[in-house]
Amino acid sequence: MSESSKLPFLPFALPDIGEEEIAEVVDTLRSGWVTTGPKAKRFEQAFAEYLGEPQIECIAVNSATAGLHLALEALGIGPGDEVITTTHTFTATAEVVRYLGADVVLVDIDPRTLNIAIDQIEAAITPRTKCIIPVHYAGLAVDMLSLLDIARKHGLKVVEDAAHALPTTLEKELIGTMGSNATVFSFYANKTMTTGEGGMLVTRDPELARRARVMRLHGINRDAFDRFTAKVPSWYYEIVAPGFKYNLTDIAAAMGLHQLKRLPAFQRRREQIAQRYLQALADLPLILPPEAPEGDTHSWHLFVLRLSDEAEISRDEFIERMFALGIGCSVHYVPLHQHPYWREQYGLTAERFPHSQRAYERTVSIPLYTAMTDEQVERVIDAVRRSLGLA
Ligand SMILES: *Cc1c(COP(=O)(O)O)cnc(C)c1O
């Protein structure tokens, strides 16, 4: 068969962890402070500086899921409330709404961007609606100006799921500084930077931040807790709510400090690979992902191909052929309305989400990560051509 099938399998995603991260983790292990401590604090400050707003509140957590849960909890979302989000996302975006006993209302996507269909949000609003959770799919910003207008008009909160969107910009402003109530980033292993597991909740609302910090660690009143690190020793603390266990360890933050420093270089490499794919795959029976508007940044967390009608194979067949050629692919996402839990909980049918359903049936994500070599990028391009029967 082809030469490429003899090469080692190229996984769909791999983290890019350097010697600085490793040395910092080792330093943490030797320091005696392995849970949340000075490095988690430094990581929060460094993140605020990265966003260009040293005063913005950054709350390090052990996952983006935890951050989304904390943000909604702090906004008072609870039983009887409805939260609007896209069906074309990972279940974490929506499950946190159910943790709080509130209901999820799913909206279809814009077939071009695969982001939530802005023009369908208003029809989903009811007297019970409290919040909207936009997801910056693949790393392309949602039209936040229109979305925030709708939210303002109807008195709704907005929590951005920015798990894909570091660094993504809209009108030259980084996601995280758009003016929603809160934004949550993910540092899961396959995201644009990683701490193994981790996330960051970002907000300009001091009350939201105060509540999230208390609920991040068992509902411990921070004023009492902080006395542990003060000059005068104190064993006393107070529990003011039944909180969660969502703090980020210093081991994870040690990785985060160096991943964050490398983020600009990571982004340049992702952009380079994306541009190579856009150029090399342009003449194939594919719909290529939209780029960010001129002057803005697409994080390229995902590179999502869509087989066009002229492509004579199914998406599943395409993935099987890529696999046979030694290339790992993925699908983002099996939409929420397809999963048994969400389908049965809300009696959902695919007919209600035609654009998401069609995207699900025809899209495939190909490898795009900074640890890939130029040769591996060319191997992916060659495998895409072969899989479409065009090489
Ligand atoms: C990865 C991801 C999450 C969850 O992130 P964790 O840090 O693993 O909790 C949430 N939403 C989307 C869209 C994601 O891709």
pLDDT in tens, 148-186: 999 999 999 999 999 999 999 999 999 999 999 999 999
Mean pLDDT of 300-314: 96
- Which ligand 1 atom is nearest residue 137's CA? 13
How far, in Å, CA of 57 to CA of 208, rounded?
9
pLDDT in tens, 252-305: 999 999 999 999 999 999 999 999 999 999 999 999 999 999 999 999 999 999
Above 80 in pLDDT, residue 231?
A: no
Residue identifier of the C-alpha nearest atom 8 of ligand 1 = 188
Query: In the structure encoding, which two tokens stand for residue 222, read together?
Result: 């921070």
Give the per-residue pLDDT at 226: 64
Query: In the structure encoding, which two tokens stand for residue 149, read together?
Result: 């207008």
- Which ligand 1 atom is nearest residue 199's CA? 7
B/e letters for 76-85, b = 16+ CB within 10 Å, e = fewer, are ebeeebbbbb
Residue identifier of the C-alpha nearest atom 14 of ligand 1 = 163
Q: How far is ligand 1, taken at its centre, from the CA of residue 89, in Å? A: 9
> 280 CB contacts (<8 Å, ≥6 apart)?
381
Residue identifier of the C-alpha nearest atom 5 of ligand 1 = 64
CA distances from 132 to 20, 31, 164, 204 (A): 39, 42, 17, 17
- Which ligand 1 atom is nearest residue 186's CA? 7
Q: How far is ligand 1, taken at its centre, from the CA of residue 69, in Å? A: 12
Q: How far is ligand 1, taken at its centre, from the CA of residue 41, in Å? A: 22
The C-alpha angle with vertex 240 and arms to 239 and 241, in degrees rounded to 5, equals 100
Mean pLDDT of 238-261: 98
CB-CB contact of 73 with 100 (8 Å)? yes
pLDDT in tens, 103-162: 999 999 999 999 999 999 999 999 999 999 999 999 999 999 999 999 999 999 999 999
pLDDT confidence bin for 224, thresholds 50/70/90: low
* CB atoms closer than 10 angstroms to residue 354: 12
Q: How far apart, in Å, do the first and last CA atoms of the chain sit? A: 13
Q: How far is ligand 1, taken at its centre, from the CA of residue 331, in Å? A: 15
Q: How far is ligand 1, taken at its centre, from the CA of residue 9, in Å? A: 25
How far, in Å, CA of 270 to CA of 278, rounded?
12
Domain boundaries, the chain: 19-260, 263-387
Above 90 in pLDDT, residue 227?
A: no
Lowest mean pLDDT among 60-64, 166-170, 232-236, 273-277: 232-236
Q: How far is ligand 1, taken at its centre, from the CA of residue 92, in Å? A: 6
Rg of the chain on CA atoms, in Å: 22
Residue identifier of the C-alpha nearest atom 1 of ligand 1 = 163
Give the per-residue pLDDT at 1: 47
Ligand 1 cavity residues, CB under 6 Å: 63-65, 89-90, 92-93, 135, 161, 163-164, 186, 188, 199
Q: Which CATH superfamily is domain 263-387 in?
A: Aspartate Aminotransferase, domain 1 (3.90.1150.10)
Lowest mean pLDDT among 35-39, 232-236, 270-274, 315-319: 232-236
How far, in Å, CA of 224 to CA of 238, rounded?
7
How far, in Å, CA of 90 to CA of 104, rounded?
13
Give the per-residue pLDDT at 19: 98
Phi then psi for 6, rounded to 5 degrees? -85, -15
pLDDT in tens, 10-59: 999 999 999 999 999 999 999 999 999 999 999 999 999 999 999 999 99
Above 70 in pLDDT, residue 229?
A: no
The C-alpha angle with vertex 19 and arms to 17 and 25, in degrees rounded to 5, equals 80
Is 191 among the residues known to form the active site? yes
How far, in Å, CA of 384 to CA of 278, rounded?
12
Check: CATH 3.90.79.10 for 19-260? no
- Which ligand 1 atom is nearest residue 92's CA? 10
- Which ligand 1 atom is nearest residue 198's CA? 7
Give the per-residue pLDDT at 221: 86
Above 60 in pLDDT, residue 5?
A: no
Helix, strand, coil in percent for the chain, rounding step 5: 45, 15, 40
Dihedral of CA 325/327/333/334: which sign?
A: positive
pLDDT confidence bin for 201, thresholds 50/70/90: very high
Give the per-residue pLDDT at 235: 83
Which of 331, 352, 370 has the alpha carbon at shortest distance from 89? Answer: 331
Phi then psi for 276, rounded to 5 degrees? -65, -45
Query: Which candidate in 130, 172, 191, 231 is catalytic?
Result: 191
66, with CB counted inside 10 A (0-12, 13-18, 19+), is: buried
pLDDT confidence bin for 232, thresholds 50/70/90: low
- E strand residue ranges, the chain: 57-61, 82-86, 103-107, 129-133, 157-161, 169-170, 173-174, 182-186, 199-203, 286-287, 303-307, 363-366
How far, in Å, CA of 237 to CA of 128, rounded?
37
pLDDT in tens, 346-371: 999 999 999 999 999 999 999 999 99
CB-CB contact of 315 with 363 (8 Å)? yes
